[in-house]
A and B are shown apart, each in its own frame.
Chain A
Amino acid sequence: MFRVTRRYEFAASHRLHSGELSEVENRQLYGKCNNPHGHGHNYVVEVSVRGPLEGATGRAVDIAALDEMVGREVVGPFDHHNLNREVAEFASVVPTSENLGLEICRRLKRNWKQAFPGEWPKLEKIRIGETSRNVFEVGADEIE
């Protein structure tokens, strides 16, 4: 069994601000990340896929198919965009890296069977780094 991991990047802006909290509470909780004008990161996303070797190709994953899906579902809609304003899911959900990781995982799971109709390969997990110091990991089994 192999785990193949592919690394992607996108640059995006966001603002951490919860509608459930007051202005003061938001500032206290999110600090600089609450700046009303927003700020940005070079996000790094690693997508890990698990599967057995396919005899004819010597590969466990069709990387071109993975690139196409991640490009269409994640890098395309997120790269050089404002997450709060331009990605519908973050209109009401705070775009923390935790929530970004969950959303990326959800998008990949939703489109998985179209890209990979067979039993294998399976999405195992995604990791997202807002900076190289903070990395968040979501297992595909952790979400619906």
Chain B
Amino acid sequence: MVITRKVEFSASHVCRNPRLSDEENQRIYGMAANPHGHGHNYVVEVSLAGDPDAVTGMVLDLKDLKAILEREIVEPYDHRFLNYEVPPFDREVPTTENIALDIWRRLEPCLSDGRKKLHAVRVYETSDLYVDYFGETPCSA
């Protein structure tokens, strides 16, 4: 069984790699390379795979999941300039892919145990663009 909970945060970022020239950054990232930054209302969907507990009937108490998502995602990310305030984006480009990867790394140790595991992290940068990350294993349909 897979359960999914959604959280949102608003943040600004710049997509540019300091190892590349201004022209290359502009070509690769387009408007997102504007050095002054710009922002999004990000939506994150976190999915856990597991079996319901025999006593509670729950894969994970959603109150607990909510608290973990608040602590691990919303607190560090919400209303921040990612490049300046949220490591590893002082050295990694805060693309949607890298944000999904970072969220996975923050959540995985808190959520995976013998009975359940983190299944997927979906990050919407806008309603027209989202990224799914499934960990190191190849993703399935």
Chain A: residues with CB nearer than 8 A to chain B?
1-8, 50, 53, 56-60, 62-64, 124-125, 139
Q: How many A-B residue pairs have CB under 8 A?
A: 65
Determine the chain A residues whose CB is within 8 A of the CB of B45 once the complex forms: none
Complex CA–CA separation, A64 to B93 (angstroms): 17
Choice from A4, A8, A58, A63 contacting B17 with Cβ under 8 Å: A58
**Among the listed A4, A57, A125, which residue makes an inter-chain contact with B129, where contact means beta carbons less than 8 Å apart?**
A4
**B49-57, B97-105, B109-117: which one contacts chain A?**
B97-105
Interface residues of B in 5-20 (CB under 8 A from A): 15, 17, 19-20
Docked complex Cα distance between A36 and B73 (Å): 53
Interface contact B17-A3, CB-CB below 8 Å: no
14 contacts between A and B (CB under 8 A): A1-B138, A2-B139, A3-B139, A4-B96, A4-B97, A4-B130, A5-B131, A5-B132, A6-B128, A56-B19, A57-B17, A57-B93, A59-B95, A125-B141
A2 surroundings in chain B (CB, below 8 A): 97, 100, 131-133, 139
B127: chain A residues within 8 A (beta carbon): 7
Q: Please measure, in the bound complex, the distance between the C-alpha atom of A4 and the C-alpha atom of B130, giving whole angstroms.
A: 6
Assuming the contacts A6-B128, A63-B129, asked whether A1 and B98 have C-beta atoms less than 8 A apart, the reply is no
* Cβ 8 A contact of A58, one of B98, B132, B137, B139: B98
| Residues in chain A near residue B130, CB distance under 8 A | 4-5
CB pair B30–A3 under 8 Å, yes or no, is no
B134 touches A1 (CB 8 A): yes
Additional A-B contact list (6), CB under 8 Å, known A3-B139, A53-B98, A60-B97:
A2-B131, A4-B129, A57-B28, A58-B94, A58-B97, A62-B28
Contact of A53 among B17, B28, B97, B134 (CB under 8 A): B97
Are A3 and B19 in contact (CB-based, < 8 A)?
Answer: no
Question: Is B92 among interface residues, defined by CB-CB distance under 8 A?
Answer: yes
CB-CB under 8 A from B30, the residues of chain A are: 64
Which A residue sits closest to B127, measured CB to CB? A7
> Roughly how many angstroms separate A63 CA and B125 CA in the complex, as a whole number?
13
